[in-house]
Structure 1
């Protein structure tokens, strides 16, 4: 069995290793099928030691999801600094380019985001939840400040659009994820129209949402001035 890490640095490294292993498992299995004992076994540690780091499976999942959120916010901020947002078209390009990069290169984020609605935060201890949310809010505020520097959009615009985009990612991923037996039936019966292409669906849906948001909010706001 693995020895329990004692120093803060060692505990942080062990927590990261646990999250890395959990990420591998969540990529290949459904949330409901993964047990904390499975993760402990993969880590070569006892269940008791695992619970020292993460008190519930929900807390572990929430920590992993927040880690991916942090990476994504950092990447968006990096892209926004490289090409400053001067108007809504710039913002739309930022959102669409980052979205396609996310879909192509970060399947973990997409999968965790689609699982999020099935995981209840009520089983996450308050301290863990508070610490993660404070950090996420800080990163999100920094990103919004970068995007809104030219005043092409308001903070409310950016917040609302990013939240809507997350919901679109979840919806498109869920509709495109079918059990193997259902896929077999569709293919054998030539029902290709029932199969969804996640990348194409999410690209079209977010693009349409952004166009609609511009027309119904940005343009309307300008006309009312």
Structure 2
């Protein structure tokens, strides 16, 4: 009986996750089944359960690995941008990351909205913990890279900015589309509830950064 190598197992796991991600781009979470994911990935349903016990486990994996990739990319972009030396330069860089997260990773933001109310209910605790530990490590490395150049910030403060970023965007997304119900337009005029996600996220982030800058400079 052939036994897969660790590398082959990792590749199979990634294949399944990518199939689920592809389905999520076109469907809501509750419209996707394990059988669909098995068909999309080309693996037997029994094999699928060897890697992920529940659908929630697959999407929790996608969420955590997605944020790991995102924060790694942010650190790489920051390290390549040697001209970022002042607070204003750094603020502009953060707003650009808002743009990239909102425009290039919308499914990651959708997944984040599912984390507490849906995914954690049936995701594997140990696998989730392992994913969060890796995410924390990557976030710390990002904070270290930023704090080494933007000396007003500590590593903890720099790392925390990306928690704030996620909270701002997720909070705004939660209040979007109040004129819809399950993707159907409601017969109402809710113009006062309309949100430009990127514009509002940038404005709130700027307010936060201005307050943080004043606090840190005042503490010197």
Q: TM-score range by the shorter chain?
A: 0.7 to 0.9
* Structure 1: segments with no counterpart, 5+ residues: none
Q: CA RMSD in A?
A: 2.4
Corresponding pairs, count:
214
Q: What CA distance in whole angstroms lies between the structure 2 residues aligned with 1:221 and 1:142?
A: 22
Please name the residue that 2:17 is paired with: 19
Please name the residue that 2:152 is paired with: 152
Q: Which has the higher contact order (CA 8 A, sep 6+)?
A: 1
Give the secondary-structure state (helix, strand or coil) at the position aligned to 1:28. Answer: coil
Q: 1:16 to 1:32 in 2, by over 3 A?
A: same
Asked whether the equivalents of residues 27 and 111 of structure 1 are also in contact (C-alpha less than 8 Å), the reply is no
* Higher percent of residues as helix: 1
Give the secondary-structure state (helix, strand or coil) at the position aligned to 2:194. Answer: coil
Please name the residue that 2:45 is paired with: 47
For residues 103-134 of structure 1, the C-alpha deviation after alignment (integer angstroms, 9 at most, x for no partner) is: 22223223222333332425332331232122
User: Is 1:202 the counterpart of 2:198 in the alignment?
Assistant: yes
User: Is 1:171 the counterpart of 2:167 in the alignment?
Assistant: no
Moved beyond 6 Å, runs of 4+? none
TM score, norm. by length of structure 1: 0.82
Give the secondary-structure state (helix, strand or coil) at the position aligned to 2:109. Answer: helix
Q: 1:194 to 1:30 in 2, by over 3 A?
A: farther
Asked whether the equivalents of residues 98 and 202 of structure 2 are also in contact (C-alpha less than 8 Å), the reply is no
Q: 1:21 to 1:113 in 2, by over 3 A?
A: same
TM score, norm. by length of structure 2: 0.84
For residues 119-155 of structure 1, the C-alpha deviation after alignment (integer angstroms, 9 at most, x for no partner) is: 2425332331232122212211111100100312123
Asked whether the equivalents of residues 18 and 43 of structure 1 are also in contact (C-alpha less than 8 Å), the reply is yes
Please name the residue that 2:214 is paired with: 219
Compare 68-77 and 123-132 and name the one that shifted more.
123-132
